[in-house]
Amino acid sequence: MMQLSQDLIQRYHDLIETLGPEALKTMLQEMHTIRAFEERAEQLYMQGKVHGTMHLSIGQEATAVGAANAMQEGDYLLNHHRGHGHCMAWSGDPNRMMAEFMGKETGYCRGRGGSMHIADIDANNLGANGIVAGGIPIAVGVGLSIKMRRTSQVCLVIFGDGAANEGAFHESLNMASIWALPIVFLCENNQYAMSMPVEKAFNIENISQRAAAYGLPGLTVDGNDVLAVYSAVSEAAARARRGEGATLVEAKTYRYKGHSKSDKQAYRSREEVRDWQDKRDPILRFTNLLQLAGVIDAAEATQMREHALAIIDAAVAFSEASPDPNIADIMDGVYA
Amino acid sequence: MPEVRELTYAEALRECLRQLMEEDERVFLIGEDIGVYGGAFGVTAGLIEQFGAERVIDTPISEAGIAGACIGAALTGMRPIGEIQFMDFVTLSMEQLVLQAAKVRFMFGGKASVPMVLRMPGGSGTGAAAQHSESLENWFVHVPGLKVVMPSTPYDAKGLLRAAVLDNNPVIFVEHKLLYKTKGHVPEEPYIVPLSQSKVVREGEHLTVVATSIMVPRALQAAEELAKEGIELEVIDPRTLKPLDDAPIIESVKKTGRALVVHEAVEMGGFGGEIVARIAASEAFDYLEAPIRRLAGLDIPIPYNRELEYHAVPQVESILREARKLVRGEY
């Protein structure tokens, strides 16, 4: 383990230098805050305080944080139903996210969207999508718009392994390629499309291989290594910003929880989940790395977790004190 | 007397597109074979020469992609006008239109808007058979968040398309293949026909006929015939199906006491049912002197054979027949 970590420090030496301690700490803190948000979300659900469903990304924090931090101010985000982490890492306000989760008027979407549809339009977060692959064709339009408006923005679209088997994925990668659109297609491969394992749903080793069919670069990274995701997405975004078009990045990660609240997880073993938790947990790994690199010490690591819990306590308090939407406003927002 | 300027329905649409693109660089066209080919029905002919391939974008055969491209561009400050080559093919775009375009604004708390128009030709009569002749407008009418427009004249085609593009919502703009070559008065200067304004296109006292798209000229032709028999039809074209302006329809039925709804789409689950329900539920109910009737497409796919195709949807003769029955009390 120690040897492995030393190798990592070697590998990431330049990146650790470039990012600097503050950025690295922020990334780890974000990962903690996402996890604390989702643990609390699950708890609130168990307590019967939440009306809808939720899709937890616990275990996938490195992908969200690595990708979001690789993007710049003004860039666009489209993401998927398991999207709390992406939104949070994309400068999401935990109070407004929690309020949305609890269906409150103060939530990002005034309680109309819920867990699965959080958007922050003012921050160019164009929203989480409840339809598998639903955001991918929209990313093509965003890319087209960027190109026509001649700005240097880039669109990051995050979708799961399941989405790569929808037709919309294929139409969109092709269109992005022929028009050299500034898009980073990030496939967050968490090993299961609900219950369908990637080994059964694909006859290829890496989903990123599909990029070749559309003349796009494709690469697969360890989605539980926040710096690996950061590097790959940074590079893809830089390429897009240079006018060289889209990239397909596959981040291999793992969800610890079930697909949604009703999942009994009959399709996988407890040992498999435990193995990922014990050996590849993204927060533990990044914590170890930063401690070995001398960026944080053990006390700071603990503080980060405590700080995250405090942020989420405050978010819950904010949400519980927030009003429900007014029934008289039910027709609001159908038409502009 | 100055000569009245006439254009075909297709030319009127093209003039509108050209004017919008000249005025606003955010407006662009995207669809299959709309560039040098000019669109399957020629609506966009010549526009790529004027505006270039960056604003008249030929796409691969990717209808979900076209719809998504419009949505994404609209969400980020552009005013896209997409073309679906045949309305039938919009079935391949449905997820994007129904679950994305129609819903993002509401779902995100009223903070996003999707100012896009998707044009598509519907309807039968060209021998194109079952997969190129659909009239699916009511699928969209059933979706909150979408607007549905269906012009029947060159004048309305130009004015409604302009209104649709200037609107900040996703608009499904349904053209009719048989109308493309019909001619009518169209002023050169840009003008708007407001959305959600039904129009009384012919006044009459005996029977209200609510007709859409190609059924408007057919109803008017029937009205001319019936006038010779002393039967005066009042013909109303809703023009925008959603959101529907039903006031002129209800007012008209209060006057005539009779109503016939005519559309090409199949009767079962069609737009006519909505009109009938609105009349029946309104104050016009007390004025009814006859049952409210619908005349619509048979509940079958559009057949290929010319005679079968003709008899699959309402024609002038069937409107005449139904109108006479209603006015004479022979139902």
Tens-place pLDDT, residues A213-242: 999 999 999 999 999 999 999 999 999 999
Q: Which of B132, B176, B206, B263 is catalytic?
A: B132
- Non-local (6+) Cβ contacts of A117 within 8 A are A109, A127, A128, A129, A130, B107, B108
Nearest CA-CA distance, residue B278 and chain A, Å: 20
- A331 and chain B: CB distance < 8 Å anywhere? no
Q: How far apart are the first and last CA of chain A?
A: 56
| Cross-strand partners of A303 | none
Q: Is A181 left (phi over 0), alpha (psi -120 to 50) or beta?
A: beta
A144: chain B residues, CB-CB within 8 Å: 30, 57, 69, 72-73, 78
* A261 has pLDDT over 90: no
Nearest CA-CA distance, residue A114 and chain B, Å: 8
Q: How many angstroms separate the CA atoms of B198 and B251, rounded?
A: 12
What pLDDT was estimated at residue A6? 72
Q: Is B245 in contact with B258 (CB distance < 8 Å)?
A: no
Closest CA to B60 of A208, A236, A135, A214: A214
- A181 and chain B: CB distance < 8 Å anywhere? no
Closest CA to B100 of A55, A168, A173, A93: A168
pLDDT band (50, 70, 90) for residue A9: confident
- A239 and chain B: CB distance < 8 Å anywhere? no
pLDDT band (50, 70, 90) for residue A11: confident
Nearest CA-CA distance, residue B258 and chain A, Å: 34
CB–CB contact A127 B107 (8 Å): yes
Nearest CA-CA distance, residue A237 and chain B, Å: 18
The pair phi, psi for residue B207, each rounded to 5°, is: -155, 135
Please state the rounded mean pLDDT for residues B59-63.
98
Q: Using CB atoms, which residue from B62, B76, B115 is nearest to A174? A: B62
What pLDDT was estimated at residue A53? 86
Return mean pLDDT, chain B: 97
Minimum CA–CA partner of B243 in chain A: A335
* A297 has pLDDT over 60: yes
- B59 and chain A: CB distance < 8 Å anywhere? yes
Q: How many angstroms separate the CA atoms of B308 and B305, rounded?
A: 5
Quick one: how far is CA A227 from the chain centroid?
14
Give the tens place of pLDDT for each residue, B209-240. Answer: 999 999 999 999 999 999 999 999 999 999 99
B185 is catalytic: no
- B71 and chain A: CB distance < 8 Å anywhere? yes
- Non-local (6+) Cβ contacts of A267 within 8 A are A192, A195, A196, A197
What domains are defined for chain B? 6-185 (3.40.50.970), 199-328 (3.40.50.920)
What pLDDT was estimated at residue B331? 81
Cβ burial of A127 (10 Å; 0-12, 13-18, 19+) is buried
Please state the rounded mean pLDDT for residues A71-77.
98
Residue B43 DSSP SS3: coil
CA–CA distances in Å: residue B270 to residues A101, B134, B253, B304: 38, 13, 20, 22
Query: With pLDDT > 90 as the criterion, what percentage of chain A qualifies?
Result: 93
What pLDDT was estimated at residue B12? 98
CB–CB contact B106 A131 (8 Å): no
Please state the rounded mean pLDDT for residues B193-210.
98
CB–CB contact A172 B65 (8 Å): yes
Closest CA to A49 of A320, A328, A262, A238: A320
Please state the rounded mean pLDDT for residues B106-125.
97
Alpha-carbon dihedral B117, B43, B221, B141, rounded to 10 degrees: -20
Domain boundaries A2-319, corresponding CATH code:
3.40.50.970
Q: Using CB atoms, which residue from B78, B100, B147 is nearest to A138? A: B100
